[in-house]
Amino acid sequence: MEFDDMDHMPEWEHFNRFGRDDEDEENLSSHETEKVRIKASRAKNLYNQARSVYKYSALFCETLAGEMAEMTANLIMQNALMLCPKIIGAEGADMYILRMENASIIRTNSRELETQVRAADMFEICTPEYKDIVLDEMEKFRLLFIEWVKCFEKDEFEDDWGLY
């Protein structure tokens, strides 16, 4: 697989607007418009970083060798593949409970992805330099994730499960 061929994860613009009408934006104050812009910018940055994590994870998996390579690669890619759709799910719903649920899933998949990359290194089935690249991309993702979650606003909907 060539790096350029891995752009099959849709660009952020493919999902733009998330159901917001131009009329909605016209009725917002300048403060509210700025909040919407910041929120959208943080989501876009996180999504684009998730695409990078996905690409570098796929490249990393191609370098794995040995008895556990296939299983490890499958686990890594399952986790990497979940990041972008869950960001889109959180942004599309625009409900606090669903945002938090998706954020929790993203965090879990991210942590599992990191664990699998570190396990590949521990089992000596990868090149350590490639491991470092993926982990660096994951750290960038984690920092953007923290900023993204700060934009979540509690709404009037109650969580039937009592978690959020």
Q: What was the pLDDT predicted at 19?
A: 46
Residue 79 banded pLDDT, cuts 50, 70, 90: very high
* Residue 108 DSSP label: H
The stretch 134-153 carries a mean pLDDT of 96
pLDDT at 154 over 60: yes
Q: Is there a contact between 56 and 67 (Cβ–Cβ < 8 Å)? A: no
* 105 within some domain: yes
All residues at 6 or more sequence positions from 25 whose CB lies less than 8 Å from its CB, including other chains? 33, 36
The fraction of the chain above a pLDDT of 90, given in percent, is: 70
Alpha carbons 64 and 55: distance in angstroms, whole number: 15
> Which residue's entry shows tokens 């690409």?
55
164: in domain: no
In tens, the pLDDT along 89-125 reads 999 888 999 999 999 999 999 999 999 999 999 999 9
Q: What is the DSSP string of 75-117?
A: HHHHHHHHHHHHHHHHHHH--HHHHHHHHHHHHHHHHHHHHHH
Instruction: Domain count for the chain, please give it.
Output: 1
> In whole angstroms, what is the distance from residue 87 CA to residue 52 CA?
14
The residue with greater pLDDT, 138 or 34, is 138
Q: Using only C-alpha atoms, what is the Rg of the chain? A: 18
Higher pLDDT among residues 57 and 164, named by residue: 57
Range of the domain at 83: 34-149
Domain-located, residue 159: no
Q: Is residue 161 part of a domain?
A: no
Confidence check: pLDDT of 64 > 80: yes
- The pLDDT of 131-135, averaged and rounded, is 97
The SS3 of residue 124 is coil
The domain that holds 60 is classified in CATH as 1.20.1440.60
User: Is residue 14 in a domain?
Assistant: no
Q: What integer best gives the mean pLDDT of the chain? A: 89
